[in-house]
């Protein structure tokens, strides 16, 4: 629409010419303008900027007040602008300082005012000083652990008290109300409780399944609640089964219960390759002791060199017995055993062994050297010949006969001497032997003699022990007590 009394084209031309002229004149005007300000630098800062400088310590208040007057602002107006320019900590930062005791109640209330907060909301913020809620996950864990009361959907609540261990007290707060403060409803809390409680460890759950403590579905629940996807349940169950160790598989091979192939297959279940299984088999093998080998060879035993690393059984034994090489010679020297000290004593006494031979045997058995020599010297006869057992028997019989005859009074000291010499009793020991026998004889004399007993029995005399006449059994018993044999006693009564 055309403007009355004007020409649109002229207006456009005029505007265009004016703008072009202004742009063309700016460089020419700018230089004098700059020179004019340089000659008269009296321009002042605006009062709001002065207030910010005062608030930040860039200008003191009195200087700013003089300059503000030149802009038409009095001291009260400048003070108001300075107050507006001053800043305080944010509400969150101020809350943290206030909770830690680093800010007073009044200063915290002031931060709310400076924040421009509608004071209708100040009481709510101030009341949150000690009302910060715990997280939803913490609430769920507290329910699982029995620290907060358990809602009805918890299958088995934690007991309120222990049997012997004191129970941590329950905090009497409504967990659903705590969750609501975080913006979560009861259903969301129930989800968190379900995901917070862990089940049995997967391997332990498999063990419980094997023992019949839980069922297959219980096992799957344990897997699912343990953050393991249930498609892994069967492999985990099978991997949890008890199997023999690699050592035990090799032991079974050694005992002939399974073949080497079966043993290696069992070791492979533990990730062991055949070469290591074979080496384990060699390690687990145990040899016979060297002394046992000696006995076995003496009895006609056979050492299978085809299945042994060494041809000599003694060498094989010391190598396979977990010994270091430095011990091989000592171990092999233990191949023989020796008779007991009692046997060696008898051999020394009989002259079958010389004193030197007996001493060496004692040394071989680990005796202390001086003791070995003393014992060998004590028992050695020096004859070097063994006594015929029949001679020993005759010596015993002669000793018994001499002893009996002496007690009966049939042999005198003079008669006993040559017999004792014959028996090998040293001349210096004979008086002591005869003295002891004499003492024994004096004790025997207090009883009836054999002749008196025979006469008393034959005459029908009274036996003081029974108050009746002597009987044959009583007379026989009495004679036997006087060292008669039963046959001799009967013959003596019959003479």
- 222 burial class (0-12, 13-18, 19+ CB within 10 angstroms)? buried
The mean per-residue pLDDT over the stretch 293-312 comes to 85
**What CA–CA distance (Å, rounded) separates 40 from 315?**
119
Higher pLDDT, 382 or 104: 104
pLDDT at 242: 92
Mark out the alpha helices in 201-273 (DSSP H runs). 202-210, 216-225, 233-239, 246-254, 260-268
Tally DSSP H helices, then E strands, for the chain.
28, 2
What size, in residues, is the chain? 495
Counting other chains too, the contacts that 74-78 makes at CB distance below 8 Å and 24 or more residues apart are 77/47, 78/47, 78/50, 78/51, 78/54
Mark out the alpha helices in 269-388 (DSSP H runs). 274-284, 290-298, 313-319, 328-332, 341-350, 355-364, 369-379
CB 298 within 8 A of CB 264: no
pLDDT reading at 2 higher than 70: no
CB 179 within 8 A of CB 185: yes
Query: Among 94, 141, 144, which Cα is nearest to 114's?
Result: 94
For 79-98, the pLDDT digits (tens) are: 899 888 888 999 999 989 99
Task: Return the domain boundaries, the chain.
Answer: 91-127, 136-196, 202-239, 246-284, 290-332, 341-379, 388-438, 447-495
CB 267 within 8 A of CB 246: yes
The token pair that represents 481 in the structure block: 């007590």
Of 72-86, 274-288, 429-443, least confident by mean pLDDT is 429-443
Model confidence at 8, in pLDDT bands (50, 70, 90)?
A: very low
pTM for this predicted structure: 0.48
Longest dimension (CA), the chain: 202
């Amino acid at each position: 629409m055309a403007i009355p009394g004007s020409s649109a084209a002229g207006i456009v031309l005029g505007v265009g010419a004016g703008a072009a002229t202004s742009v063309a004149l700016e460089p020419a005007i700018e230089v004098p303008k700059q020179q004019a300000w340089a000659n008269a630098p009296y321009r002042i800062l605006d009062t709001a900027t002065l207030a910010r400088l005062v608030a930040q310590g860039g200008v003191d208040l009195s200087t700013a007040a003089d300059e503000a007057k030149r802009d038409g602002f009095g001291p009260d107006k400048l003070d108001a602008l300075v107050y507006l320019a001053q800043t305080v900590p944010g509400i969150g930062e101020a809350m943290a300082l206030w909770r830690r005791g680093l800010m007073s109640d009044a200063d915290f209330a002031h931060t709310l005012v400076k924040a421009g907060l509608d004071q209708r909301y100040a009481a709510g913020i101030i009341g949150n000083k000690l009302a910060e809620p715990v997280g939803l996950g913490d609430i769920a864990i507290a329910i699982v652990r029995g620290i907060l009361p358990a809602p009805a959907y918890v299958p088995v609540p934690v007991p309120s008290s222990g049997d012997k261990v004191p129970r941590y007290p329950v905090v009497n707060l409504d967990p659903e109300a705590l969750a609501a403060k975080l913006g979560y409803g009861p259903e969301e809390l129930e989800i968190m409780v379900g995901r917070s409680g862990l089940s049995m460890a997967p391997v332990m759950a498999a063990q419980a399944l094997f023992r019949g403590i839980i069922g297959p579905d219980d096992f799957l629940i344990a897997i699912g609640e343990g953050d393991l996807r249930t498609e892994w349940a069967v492999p985990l169950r099978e991997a949890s089964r008890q199997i023999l160790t690699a050592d035990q598989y090799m032991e079974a091979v050694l005992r002939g219960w399974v073949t080497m192939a079966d043993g290696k297959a069992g070791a492979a279940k533990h990730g062991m390759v055949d070469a290591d299984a074979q080496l384990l088999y060699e390690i687990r093998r145990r040899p016979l002791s060297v002394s046992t080998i000696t006995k076995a060879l003496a009895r006609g035993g056979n050492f299978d060199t085809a299945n042994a690393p060494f041809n000599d059984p003694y060498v094989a034994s010391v190598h396979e017995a977990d010994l270091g090489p430095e011990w091989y010679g000592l171990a092999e020297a233990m191949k023989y055993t020796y008779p007991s000290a009692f046997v060696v004593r008898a051999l020394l006494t009989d002259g079958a062994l010389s004193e030197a031979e007996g001493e060496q045997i004692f040394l071989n058995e680990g005796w202390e050297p001086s003791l070995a020599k003393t014992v060998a010297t004590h028992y050695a006869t020096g004859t070097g010949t063994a006594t015929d057992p029949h001679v020993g028997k005759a010596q015993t019989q002669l000793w018994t006969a001499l002893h009996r005859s002496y007690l009966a009074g049939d042999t005198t000291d003079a008669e006993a001497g040559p017999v004792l010499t014959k028996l090998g009793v040293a001349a210096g020991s004979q008086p002591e032997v005869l003295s002891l026998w004499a003492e024994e004889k004096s004790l025997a004399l207090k009883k009836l003699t054999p002749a008196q007993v025979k006469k008393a029995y034959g005459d029908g005399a009274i036996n003081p022990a029974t108050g009746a006449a002597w009987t044959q059994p009583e007379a026989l018993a009495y004679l036997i007590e006087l060292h008669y044999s039963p046959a001799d006693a009967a013959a003596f009564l019959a003479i």
